[in-house]
């Protein structure tokens, strides 16, 4: 077994629990498989669900029925998880109202299913660390990830240029073409970060004030070399499973700032601040409606083929997000 954690899953038929006064009965429509879902199963993530648990932290469902005290939701509404740990890989669920966020049902189902993790992470990182103005630039690695694709599009919509770093791969020209079509200004491989050609990029694009890192190791150190003095690098993942190495000179002579970001923590910090959550969701839905933010490349897989979907999501160089259709 190449991916031992796949064997931890079973497809089970369960009774739908009784609907309490503050509960919402949801028919799940679609739910993606994200790296964090796999990390949770492997036990390498900061959240552990008590077992047996239902996998999946993201997805979209349709409200079938609401308890007598539920006022903000009604049958027919679309909902997404308000927080991690909901367990979205199921056909039906009964959840307390506060665990759900209403989203408009006039956006594509795959956009709604992939809304609560990657685009939210992207918009927070572009907003909360540096004040970027039109014409400024941002550099990011793993630019073909779900977050990376959202960063490209959200930055593009606000006039911010993106320098996108990807790993070299057999289908590199197709990948470059796809990211350019999303609105990427530059796409470079990790190897190119060291090359003199980078100077050509900075003739037309200013040096970035913000770097977004979800890789770690050498990729990150190389990316950091191009950051403006007093610029910020935000780390939100560590796919290379290696630490972030920073040359002393970057600290002393360029005073770079290193920060971290975890969407789950942001949600905890803003649990009482429904306005900023609603505002963020509204901004993202507006971008989707205007065609400025699309779902990442997706492969739709019926729930009964969940094993194949899990295995596909763990293969290297996957440029497509596996989405379970429920």
Catalytic residues: 45
CA dist 322 → 108, 114, 169, 214 (Å): 16, 11, 20, 20
Distance (Å, rounded) from C-alpha 236 to C-alpha 36?
11
Nearest to 60 by CA among 121, 9, 108, 124: 108
Read off the tokens for 74.
């009604």
Distance (Å, rounded) from C-alpha 140 to C-alpha 135?
16
Distinct helix (H) and strand (E) counts, the chain: 11, 13
Dihedral over Cα of 268, 154, 239, 299: its sign: positive
Nearest to 299 by CA among 288, 289, 285, 313: 313
Q: How many CB atoms lie within 10 A of CB 146?
A: 23
Max alpha carbon distance in the chain (Å)?
66
Q: How many CB atoms lie within 10 A of CB 19?
A: 16
Nearest to 144 by CA among 319, 299, 264: 319
């Amino acid at each position: 077994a190449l991916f031992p954690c796949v064997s931890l899953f079973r497809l089970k038929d369960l009774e739908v629990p009784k609907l309490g006064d503050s509960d919402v009965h949801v028919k799940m429509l679609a739910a993606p498989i994200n790296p964090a879902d796999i990390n949770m199963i492997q036990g390498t993530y900061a959240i552990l669900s008590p077992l047996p648990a239902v996998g999946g932290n993201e997805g979209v469902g349709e409200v079938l029925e609401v308890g007598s005290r539920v006022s903000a939701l009604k049958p027919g509404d679309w909902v997404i998880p308000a927080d991690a740990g909901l367990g979205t890989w199921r056909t039906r669920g009964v959840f307390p109202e506060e665990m759900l966020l209403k989203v408009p049902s006039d956006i594509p189902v795959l956009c709604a299913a992939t809304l609560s993790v990657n685009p939210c992470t992207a918009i927070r990182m572009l907003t909360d660390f540096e004040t970027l103005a039109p014409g400024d630039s941002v550099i990011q690695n793993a630019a073909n990830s779900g977050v990376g694709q959202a960063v490209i599009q959200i930055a593009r919509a606000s006039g911010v240029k993106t320098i996108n770093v990807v790993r070299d791969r057999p289908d590199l020209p197709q990948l470059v073409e796809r990211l350019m079509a999303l609105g990427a200004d530059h796409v470079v491989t990790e190897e190119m970060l060291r090359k003199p050609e980078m100077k050509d990029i900075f003739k037309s694009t200013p040096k970035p004030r913000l770097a977004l890192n979800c890789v770690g190791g050498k990729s990150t150190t190389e990316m950091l070399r191009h950051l403006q003095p007093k610029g910020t690098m935000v780390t939100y993942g560590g796919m290379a499973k290696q630490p972030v190495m920073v040359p002393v000179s970057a600290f002393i002579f360029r005073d770079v700032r290193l920060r971290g970001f975890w969407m789950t923590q942001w949600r905890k910090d803003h649990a009482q601040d429904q306005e900023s959550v609603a505002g963020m969701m509204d901004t993202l839905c507006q971008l989707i409606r205007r065609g400025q933010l699309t779902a990442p490349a997706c492969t739709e897989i019926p729930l009964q083929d969940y094993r194949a979907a899990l295995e596909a999501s763990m293969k290297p160089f996957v440029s497509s997000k596996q989405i379970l259709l429920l």
